[in-house]
Amino acid sequence: ETGVTQTPRHLVMGMTNKKSLKCEQHLGHNAMYWYKQSAKKPLELMFVYSLEERVENNSVPSRFSPECPNSSHLFLHLHTLQPEDSALYLCASSQGPPRGYGYTFGSGTRLTVV
Amino acid sequence: DQQVKQNSPSLSVQEGRISILNCDYTNSMFDYFLWYKKYPAEGPTFLISISSIKDKNEDGRFTVFLNKSAKHLSLHIVPSQPGDSAVYFCAASAEETSGSRLTFGEGTQLTVNP
């Protein structure tokens, strides 16, 4: 496999459930990111991992918990979410700062909280 | 405080004509600007970028123009093709303040009519 792979593609969960989103990159990049895309809003940065260490947490509620066990894998653990958390969750990776080369994004997980 | 703004949520053009997508920013520390293209059910893909030391960058049918004094950039697509129909995101990075992340606009839905 190449690029950035996200699973599952779609997820419906109740507000009391616990689920995890998975991201895997096969590009040899050393930085990984979680972004949230809601309708008509800019992509919102949630977490940044560089060399497996979390370097940024953009005031994300604790019901979202990231995990980066190695430079190729990134998880987003979800628990007791709210309906307003329904969105497209995008994982991305880069080799160092994105600068002029940007990120490589996965296809996203469409999350619906009911 | 939204630092990157795309004020046009949608744009419709005829095949063969020019598409012009606009983006404004407020942070004078941004030194790279990027455009991403997103099809439904896919992640954003990198299209073209420009460094703040330049005012134009061209790649085939795509040209990005940067006006630093106006804090404005635009993406020109000519000639437009139906396959260009997608959401286009403007993004920016600033080494000093954001290190490893991109700040995105809200996106503009481009529709190219045959």
pLDDT tens per residue across span A27-71: 999 899 999 998 878 889 999 888 767 777 778 999 999 999 998
Reading the block at residue B10, the tokens are 């949608």
A108 Cα to chain B: minimum distance (Å): 6
* B32, B93, B104: residue with CB nearest A42: B104
Give the whole-angstrom CA distance, residue A66 versus residue A89.
12
Confidence of residue B50 (pLDDT cuts 50, 70, 90): very high
Q: Give me the amino acid identity at A22.
A: K
Summarised one tens digit per residue, pLDDT across range B75-94 is 999 999 999 999 999 999 88
Percentage of chain B modeled with pLDDT above 90:
84
Model pLDDT, residue B96: 58
**Res A106: pLDDT:** 96
Alpha carbon separation from A75 to A8, A78, A89, B99 (Å, rounded): 11, 10, 11, 22
State which residue of chain A sits closest to B91, comparing Cα positions: A102
**Cβ-defined contact of A104 to B46 (cutoff 8 Å):** yes
> Alpha-carbon distance B3 to B25, whole Å?
5
> In chain A, pLDDT over 70 holds for what percent of residues?
97
pLDDT confidence of residue B100: 61
